[in-house]
Amino acid sequence: MLELRLVQGSLLKKVLEAIKDLVNDANFDCSATGFSLQAMDSSHVALVALLLRSEGFEHYRCDRNISMGMNLNNMSKMLKCAGNDDIITIKADDGSDTVTFMFESPTQDKIADFEMKLMDIDSEHLGIPEAEYHAIVRMPSSEFQRICKDLSSIGDTVVISVTKEGVKFSTRGDIGTANIVCRQNTTVDKPEEATVIEMNEPVSLTFALRYMNSFTKATPLSNTVTISLSSELPVVVEYKIAEMGYIRFYLAPKIEEDEDETKPQA
């Protein structure tokens, strides 16, 4: 028996908006710790890890660990039927091959339940080692989103370079080149507007903007984003989910190909 009651149902709606474009099907894992998901994107290039801790739910009952395979598109369709102020409850009976989403309007005048078939999905749960990063950048998530979008209009890849002074996002395309430098800045009115750089070692890595832009779909979940970089390691783009956990995206850097961008990207 599983019963998770989330007063701020819009959180779950936003989570699905954030990952459904990247991942088609995934197992949601439920344990005493919380509600989590880990999945590769459909082209097996990026990885998404979601955690919603049990403490963040108003009511959290999970008798035994279960893994529920869902089609995220279908799940998203159902969650779109919940109002933004609705309370969402996720329910599943032991051994059932369905999950139920229940939506209660704030006034309790409307109660909806949507039942969705579960699917069997080979889960490839990778252990993700906690790594030390050469540089960690925290900045407003909207600014990061804007930068990724802007650079996409010029080129396909972004070089992210961190020095003590700031973080630079660069691209190059047919019509020209672009460099955007964000300086460290902690003297702002609101802490979420700060750009904070922790750097042990300068680092410069190249990533496909297409994936970065997908990651920024999580922007509504948090005012800030944290970008953790090390050479030879996948970048981690993390959006904290207030009181509950996080959504993290992992993406391997591209090996610099010296201008020779003619071959297709698998």
Partner DNA sequence: TCATGCGGCT
Partner DNA sequence: AGCCGCATGA
Number of residues that bind its own copies (CB under 8 A): 34
Of 59, 80, 125, 164, the one binding its own copies (CB under 8 A) is 80
Stretch that binds DNA, among 62-70, 105-113, 146-154, 199-207 (CB under 7 A): 146-154
214 forms part of the interface with its own copies (CB under 8 A): no
Q: Out of its own copies, DNA, none, which partner does residue 74 contact, by CB within 5 to 8 A per kind?
A: its own copies
From the list DNA, its own copies, none, partner contacted by residue 262 (C-beta under 5 to 8 A by kind): none
Residue 145 beta carbon to DNA: minimum distance, rounded to whole angstroms: 9
Q: Could you say whether residue 21 binds DNA (CB under 7 A)?
A: yes
Tell me which residues in 101-130 interact with its own copies (CB under 8 A). Answer: 107-117
| Residues of span 148-167 touching DNA by CB under 7 A | 149, 152-153
In degrees, rounded to 5, the angle at the alpha carbon of residue 225 between the alpha carbons of residues 57 and 14 is: 45
Rule CB under 8 A: say whether 179 interacts with its own copies: yes
- CA–CA separation, 70 vs 136, rounded Å? 33
Taking CB under 8 A as the rule, does residue 71 contact its own copies? Answer: yes
Question: Considering the rule CB under 8 A, would residue 196 count as an interface residue with its own copies?
Answer: no
CB under 5 to 8 A by kind: which of DNA, its own copies, none does 152 bind?
DNA
> Which of 33/74 has CB closer to its own copies?
74
Q: How far is the CB of 98 from its own copies (least distance, A)?
A: 7
Q: Does 185 bind its own copies (CB under 8 A)?
A: yes
Query: Between residue 202 and residue 231, which ones bind DNA under the rule CB under 7 A?
Result: 217
Three-class HEC string of the chain? CEEEEECCHHHHHHHHHHHCCCCCEEEEEECCCEEEEEEECCCCCEEEEEEEEHHHCCEEEECCCEEEEEEHHHHHHHHCCCCCCCEEEEEECCCCCEEEEEEECCCCCCEEEEEEECECCCCCCCCCCCCCCCEEEEEEHHHHHHHHHHHHCCCCEEEEEECCCEEEEEEEECCEEEEEEEECECCCCCHHHCEEEEECCCEEEEEEHHHHHHHHHHHHHCCEEEEEECCCCCEEEEEEECCCEEEEEEECCECCCCCCCCCCCC
**Binding residues for its own copies (CB under 8 A):** 71, 74, 77-78, 80-81, 98, 107-117, 143, 150-151, 153-154, 175-183, 185, 195
